Amino acid sequence: MTDLPQRFRIKSFGCQMNVYDGERMAELLESSGMRAAGPADDADLVVLNTCHIREKAAEKAYSDVGRLTREDGTRPLVALAGCVAQAEGPEAKRRSKAIDMVVGPQAYHRLPDMIAQVARGERPVDTNMPAISKFDALPARRRVGPSAFLTVQEGCDKFCTYCVVPYTRGAEISRPFDDVVAEAQGLVDGGAREITLLGQNVNAFEGGLDKLIRAIAKIDGLERIRYTTSHPADMSDALIAAHGEVDKLMPYLHLPVQSGSDRILKAMNRSHTAESYLRTLDKVRAARPDIAISGDFIVGFPGESDEDFTDTLAIVDAVGYASAYSFKYSPRPGTPAATMEGAVEAHVMDERLQRLQSRLAEHSLAFNRATIGKDLKILIDRKGRLPGQMIGKSPWLQSVFVDTDAAIGDMVDVTVTHALPNSLGGVLRDARVAA
């Protein structure tokens, strides 16, 4: 029998869905009487909300668990959560004695029960993927920042051959339309001015993502809507039309392509070609000419030749990405690509990643430079490092640094004065007028 924990800390890794899940777990633990440990506090419950997307994810999680033991040999209660928890299941308890409970992404609502079980001397594991949604069992949203995440869909049926998501997050499942709208209203009531709709395949949302966007755009006080991540195959005409018609929908689209080579795309089971991807973007740009496109890339997929890689650089140039994430291929056990022939040598992968990233940086810089001299609205979301400096997001999701006494959550008008690959500098428009 141990005491019930009082102060918890949740550490989220990986994607925005984990950030969202972390917030919901925090709300749940608070509503069951615990409080969040401050930065300097010693927590007596630590939830490691893990990511499994790349190599050595499990090893990293176990070493993070190991580091939670204090100098005097004591340690907090430890919950292994997230995608590593889902993938490892009961095995996690065998591999680390310091793990008290294992909770998969569809079982978070059971955390308070599991904590009580731990206090009774048990080591519960729940990695079930029940059809009934955890969301119904979570408390309503409360305090939120100016920019909030909202999960509308989870899981993936696409089975790209490199990806663990269909195994760790399960089949595609969408939340009921009205539940999502109600949660959006709750977030706005709690102070959110921007909502980012989340899903591993958010544009496969069953009720129609376009309809959902139009419905939440009616909420007074909500000013910005975004969504991520989308699959090219689910970019419907109705969703594209929404980009041209819904003012609150921000001009930014994260649409991963992964490779510019049709041969590799086929081996990845991506269900689009370079050409069909570009045609989709043509339609998006016809609807919203100023849209910023962002993407994900994998270099060194098994069998990737120099020519395939050149095709990837070509699609980067054809699209002119405003921002992008790029990764070296990492074999994930249990996925079809893990047993494919034609592994790319490490030094080749390194070199390709470097070339790709410098090309992507050129495009981001060009995109950012094109905003110099423009007036835009930024939503302040954090403090800068310098005194008086604040950082906000532009409609195109650029981070903009500005000196202002505006507070987090304020929307301010700035004129962009300079551009780097990953950020912009600006001055307050009023300040410029006054000067």
Smaller CB separation from ligand 5AD, 110 or 352: 352
Is 51 annotated to bind ligand? yes
Please answer whether residues 241 and 210 qualify as being in contact, where contact means their C-beta atoms are separated by less than 8 angstroms.
Answer: yes
Q: Is 233 in the site for ligand 5AD (CB under 6 A)?
A: no
Please answer whether residues 424 and 400 qualify as being in contact, where contact means their C-beta atoms are separated by less than 8 angstroms.
Answer: yes
Draw the binding track, 103-142, toward ligand 5AD (x: CB under 6 A; -: no contact).
----------------------------------------
264 touches, from ligand 5AD, ligand SF4, none (C-beta below 5 to 8 Å by class)? none
273 touches, from ligand SF4, ligand 5AD, none (C-beta below 5 to 8 Å by class)? none
- Alpha-carbon distance of 324 to 297, in angstroms, equals 8
Q: What one-letter code names the amino acid at 233? A: A
State the nearest-atom distance from the C-beta of 435 to ligand SF4, in Å: 48
- Among candidates 359, 317, 203, 312, which has minimal Cα distance to 329? 312
- Alpha-carbon distance of 245 to 107, in angstroms, equals 38
200 touches, from ligand 5AD, ligand SF4, none (C-beta below 5 to 8 Å by class)? ligand SF4
Question: Secondary structure of 56-67 in the HEC alphabet?
Answer: CHHHHHHHHHHC
What residue ranges bind ligand SF4 (CB under 6 A)? 156, 158-160, 163, 165-166, 200-201, 231
Candidate list 203, 258, 280, 323; residue touching ligand 5AD; CB under 6 A: 258
Q: Is 327 in the site for ligand 5AD (CB under 6 A)?
A: yes
Q: What is the DSSP letter of 132?
A: S
Candidate list 51, 81, 163, 225; residue touching ligand 5AD; CB under 6 A: 163
Choices 75-83, 96-104, 118-126, 325-333 (CB under 6 A): range interacting with ligand 5AD: 325-333
Other C-beta atoms lying within 10 Å of the C-beta of residue 186: 16
State the nearest-atom distance from the C-beta of 255 to ligand 5AD, in Å: 10
Smaller CB separation from ligand 5AD, 103 or 163: 163
CA angle 196-200-203, nearest 5°?
70
Candidate list 109, 332, 352, 393; residue touching ligand 5AD; CB under 6 A: 332
Q: What one-letter code names the amino acid at 261? A: S
State the nearest-atom distance from the C-beta of 239 to ligand SF4, in Å: 16
Is 15 annotated to bind ligand? yes
Q: Is 234 in the site for ligand 5AD (CB under 6 A)?
A: no
Is 388 annotated to bind ligand? no
Query: How large is the greatest C-alpha to C-alpha distance in the chain, in angstroms?
Result: 68
Is 101 annotated to bind ligand? no
Candidate list 7, 11, 54, 369; residue touching ligand 5AD; CB under 6 A: 54
Please answer whether residues 296 and 322 qualify as being in contact, where contact means their C-beta atoms are separated by less than 8 angstroms.
Answer: no
- Among candidates 111, 86, 123, which has minimal Cα distance to 28? 111
Q: What one-letter code names the amino acid at 92? A: A
Choices 4-12, 36-44, 219-227, 327-335 (CB under 6 A): range interacting with ligand 5AD: 327-335
Please answer whether residues 392 and 412 qualify as being in contact, where contact means their C-beta atoms are separated by less than 8 angstroms.
Answer: yes
Burial (0-12, 13-18, 19+ Cβ within 10 Å), 416: buried
Candidate list 162, 252, 309, 367; residue touching ligand 5AD; CB under 6 A: 162
Draw the binding track, 354-383, toward ligand 5AD (x: CB under 6 A; -: no contact).
------------------------------
- Alpha-carbon distance of 254 to 181, in angstroms, equals 22
* Interacting residues of 251 by C-beta distance below 8 A, sequence separation 6+: 243, 288, 290, 291, 292, 395, 396
Q: Note the residues at the interface with ligand 5AD (CB under 6 A).
A: 53-54, 162-163, 256, 258, 296, 298, 327, 329-330, 332
Binding site for [4Fe-4S] cluster: what residues are annotated? 15, 51, 83, 156, 160, 163
